[in-house]
Chains A and B, each alone.
Chain A
Amino acid sequence: MEKKEFLLSLGEKNGLKIDPERAEKMAQSGGPLDMVQFIRTLLFRIDVSGYRPEDAPDFGWKEVKP
């Protein structure tokens, strides 16, 4: 799928108002779509074997006993 069509379809699926003109702008080389694609690529270069997803860091504050 062309980048522009992808963005139009994404907008429709998520109820976002992305018109063809905006989709074209976002799809430009080096634009917002490319930026996200680039960042996503970086994430998948990392070996995360053995690590489970973690959202909030927990530093064991409770270990510091009163």
Chain B
Amino acid sequence: MTDPATLHLAEMCRLMKKGELKSVEIVESCLKRYEAFNDRLKAFISLDKEKVLAQARQMDTSRPDRPGQLWGIPIAVKDLIDVAGEITTQGSSFFRTAPAAEKDAPIIQRLKKAGAICFGKTNLHEFAWGGTSSNPHFGICRNPWNPDYIPGGSSGGSAAAVAAGIVPGALGTDTLGSIRAPSAMCGIVGLKPTYGLLPTDGIFPLGYTLDHVGPMVRSVSDAEFFFKALLTPEEQRRLNKIRRGGKVLALGKKKLKEIKIVLLPSLVQKNACHKAVWSGYLKSTAILREQGADVVEETIPDFDVAISTAFVLTLGKASEIHRERLAENPTGFGDDVRIFLEQGHLISAVDYIRAQRIRAKLVQEAKKLFQRVDAIILPTTPNPASRVGEPPDLLVARFNGPINLLGFPSLALPSGLTEDGLPVSVQIIAAPYHEYQLLEIAAVLEEGLSFPKEGPIFLHTQTG
């Protein structure tokens, strides 16, 4: 029999619905993989094994006639998100022994309402402020494709856990690309929804109005399944209405023949991308064209400064959030985070207001562009994962951070492997609240890209 933990989320749910799979079988299988891989990967900060097993047993015996979409499915949660009764460490020494959260963050309430089991809290870059997840307090999180490499960040533990098949899905958060960059580096799918669509209360902030929460999974159909499960019925109804009002995908070989997709070649070429990233990008655009999409080159005026703008806003906000901690105990932070927080004090009110005005301009320009087009395609990160211990890639948020500034939905999709066997990725960006269309385009592209379904080879060598 197939190891249940290696099934994709949507397939697990289908088998559960048919009565061919039990929650306890899935959780036991996930726990086995946790035991096999977590010491090396350090994907999790905490996991109460007895508790998740007991929950799975209880859910198998109390399955209602109309269960939630994720009934009995284990989902890992980034340890920046409050789960009642558990400590939210935020990957930080400051909160290692903090009191447990008194209540679930609204996104966890939604997850539990859908029937999911919160399967542990995942490792992250300290306070989500960085892109390596080499956490000085809870261990260096590693990439399942090659543990000598980082998984990306800040939701590195969530990405590693999903890529390693420890869980079928995880929640991540994304301020400058923290869902999409680790998804790219670990060869999984990550969805950053429209700003404000999924609630971020009960999630420790980094950039407030740049912060998003979303699903990290192993396929586009899983992303759709998980995302829908996180929506209220009213939100589902509204998104459906928007979808019905949009262009319909065609049947047959030219599924995207009504769809107009934008390349931003000036932005992409200006920055040296790794050859595998570039090749995955070109391959993706070729597939979109083969599928009938009208792929055009466009520009968004002043988009080149979007990452600097997003960075200035995040520096200012994060440094205000941590002001007292930094003043009282600066050595309680890892050195990289401490430097970011000190840099935030170099941002003046004048800089901050300028950044806010640029944001207003870029959002307006992007809205204008989306009156003519349906999606943008960009690489997710300019480079694949770097080696553990190497200086962080300063360009890692180059293509992601600007999208947080816009607040538009974006999905990271694996587009290939480097010669060394590390994943690379493209991202598709759609107009606000057009997640369903985004997922449809991504599904067509995913089929054409044929990313290896067997997952990281390293894991196969470990399990024999």
Contacting residue for B357 out of A10, A42, A53, A59, CB 8 A:
A53
**A43-B354, A46-B302, A66-B237 known; A59 vs B432 contact (CB < 8 Å):** yes
Q: For residue B358, give the distance in angstroms from its CB to the closest CB of chain A.
A: 5
Contacting residue for B327 out of A15, A26, A35, CB 8 A:
A15
Q: Is the Cβ of B305 less than 8 Å from the Cβ of A53?
A: no
Q: Is the Cβ of B346 less than 8 Å from the Cβ of A17?
A: no
Q: For residue B207, give the distance in angstroms from its CB to the closest CB of chain A.
A: 10
Q: Which residues on B sit within 8 Å (CB–CB) of A36?
A: 315, 343, 346-347
Q: Which residues on B sit within 8 Å (CB–CB) of A52?
A: 357, 360
Binds A, one of B10-18, B152-160, B279-287, B306-314: B306-314
Q: For residue A42, give the distance in angstroms from its CB to the closest CB of chain B.
A: 5
**A16-B330, A52-B360, A66-B238 known; A46 vs B346 contact (CB < 8 Å):** no
Q: For residue A12, give the distance in angstroms from its CB to the closest CB of chain B.
A: 11
**A44-B354, A66-B234 known; A59 vs B433 contact (CB < 8 Å):** yes
**A16-B345, A42-B308 known; A48 vs B238 contact (CB < 8 Å):** no
Q: Determine chain A's interface SS by DSSP, over half rule.
A: loop
Q: How does the 8 Å CB contact mask read for B231-254 relative to A, with 1 for contact and 0 for none?
A: 000100110011000000000000
Q: Is the Cβ of B360 less than 8 Å from the Cβ of A54?
A: yes
Per the 8 Å Cβ criterion, residues 285-317 of B in contact with A are 302, 305, 308-309, 311-312, 315
Q: Is the Cβ of A64 less than 8 Å from the Cβ of B433?
A: yes
Per the 8 Å Cβ criterion, residues 1-18 of A in contact with B are 10, 14-18
Contacting residue for A59 out of B234, B356, B407, CB 8 A:
B407
Q: Is the Cβ of A56 less than 8 Å from the Cβ of B196?
A: yes
Q: Which residues on A sit within 8 Å (CB–CB) of B208?
A: 55-56
Contacting residue for A54 out of B342, B359, B432, CB 8 A:
B359
Q: Is the Cβ of A43 less than 8 Å from the Cβ of B312?
A: yes
Q: Is the Cβ of B351 less than 8 Å from the Cβ of A46?
A: no
Q: Is the Cβ of A35 less than 8 Å from the Cβ of B343?
A: yes
Q: How large is the interface on B (under 10, 10 to 19, 20 to 34, 35 or more residues)?
A: 35 or more
Output the nearest chain A residue to B194 by Cβ-Cβ distance.
A59
Contacting residue for B359 out of A26, A37, A44, A55, CB 8 A:
A55
**A54-B359, A57-B195 known; A16 vs B342 contact (CB < 8 Å):** yes
Per the 8 Å Cβ criterion, residues 357-415 of B in contact with A are 357-361, 363-364, 406-407
Q: How far is the CA of A32 from the CA of B345 in the complex (A)?
A: 11
Q: Is the Cβ of A43 less than 8 Å from the Cβ of B309?
A: yes
Q: How many A-B residue pairs have CB under 8 A?
A: 104
**A46-B361, A51-B360, A56-B195 known; A61 vs B238 contact (CB < 8 Å):** yes
Output the nearest chain A residue to B317 by Cβ-Cβ distance.
A55
Q: How far is the CA of A8 from the CA of B363 in the complex (A)?
A: 38
Contacting residue for B312 out of A40, A53, A61, CB 8 A:
A40
Contacting residue for B351 out of A18, A40, A61, A66, CB 8 A:
A40
Q: Is the Cβ of B358 less than 8 Å from the Cβ of A10?
A: no
Contacting residue for A32 out of B242, B339, B363, CB 8 A:
B339
Output the nearest chain A residue to B351 by Cβ-Cβ distance.
A40
Q: How far is the CA of A17 from the CA of B357 in the complex (A)?
A: 32
Q: Which residues on B sit within 8 Å (CB–CB) of A55?
A: 208-209, 356, 359
Q: How far is the CA of A56 from the CA of B327 in the complex (A)?
A: 28
Q: Is the Cβ of B346 less than 8 Å from the Cβ of A33?
A: yes
Q: How far is the CA of A45 from the CA of B309 in the complex (A)?
A: 12
Q: Is the Cβ of B356 less than 8 Å from the Cβ of A53?
A: yes
Give me the 8 closest cross-chain CB pairs, A-B, nearest first.
Answer: A53-B356, A54-B360, A59-B432, A57-B407, A56-B209, A48-B357, A15-B327, A51-B360
Given contacts A53-B357, A53-B360, 17 further A-B contacts (CB under 8 A): A14-B345, A16-B345, A17-B327, A26-B339, A39-B308, A42-B305, A46-B302, A46-B305, A53-B359, A54-B359, A56-B196, A56-B407, A57-B196, A57-B407, A64-B238, A66-B234, A66-B237
Could you name 30 residue pairs across A and B whose Cβ atoms are closer than 8 Å? A14-B327, A14-B345, A16-B326, A16-B327, A16-B330, A17-B330, A26-B339, A32-B339, A36-B343, A42-B305, A43-B305, A43-B355, A44-B354, A46-B305, A48-B354, A48-B360, A48-B361, A53-B357, A53-B359, A54-B363, A55-B208, A56-B208, A56-B407, A57-B195, A57-B209, A57-B407, A57-B432, A59-B433, A61-B238, A66-B238
